[in-house]
Amino acid sequence: INLVGCDDSNTTGPDFSDAAGSTTYQSGCKSEAADADPNQECIELSYNNEGTLVLRHINSGLNCCPDHFNSEITIEDGRITVNEQGLGAGCKCECLFDLEYTLVNVPVDEYEIEFIGFKSGMNISMSVNLNTQTYVMHCVDRDEYPWG
């Protein structure tokens, strides 16, 4: 006998309790000869349909000489937020970095992805539906220091 039915054990959406993320790459301060357009800031996303989501923040504007980077990743209520910070005394300059994050056990769903940088009002975000989008590149033009 096959029984088909539904229950209300998952009425709040996907289970994010096992999702976790970490920084898997960070470039040094990029020179003007770098590959990406220095007048753009981008999010590159790839998803393997098995729960692994790779997010790459291209041309993240951060302090040019932090002791190290600390990125806090939160996943809840359809939002993935990456709060990037350079820690330490730093210098009186900014430059562009590429940072990559790998998140595991991410359920297939629709998400708003946001990177929060150290410059107020200079966040970058995008919406993605992992049911239909396994690769996305989203860029915004920037014309203030350290971009452009």
Judge contact between 58 and 106, C-beta under 8 A: no
Q: For residue 9, what pLDDT is reported?
A: 41
Which pLDDT score, from 0 to 100, does residue 17 have? 61
Percent of the chain past pLDDT 90, that is, above it, reads 44
- C-beta separation of 137 from 59 below 8 A: no
> What is the per-residue pLDDT for 35?
62
Residue 74 contacts residue 80 (beta carbons within 8 Å) = yes
For 109-126, how does the pLDDT look when each residue is reduced to its tens digit (9 = 90+)?
999 999 998 776 689 999
Amino acid 106: pLDDT: 93
Instruction: Output the pLDDT for position 14.
Output: 57
- Residue 145 · residue 59 · CB < 8 Å: no
110-116 and 124-129 as β-strands: parallel, antiparallel, unpaired? antiparallel
Identity at 15, one-letter amino acid code: D
Alpha carbon separation from 111 to 53, 108, 139 (Å, rounded)? 12, 9, 17
The model's pTM is: 0.82
pLDDT for position 143: 86
Question: Residue 114 to residues 30, 33, 50, 123: CA-CA distances in angstroms?
Answer: 22, 27, 22, 7
The reported pLDDT for the residue numbered 146 is 82
The low-confidence residues of the chain, meaning pLDDT below 50, are 1-11
**What is the C-alpha separation between 61 and 123, in angstroms, rounded?**
10
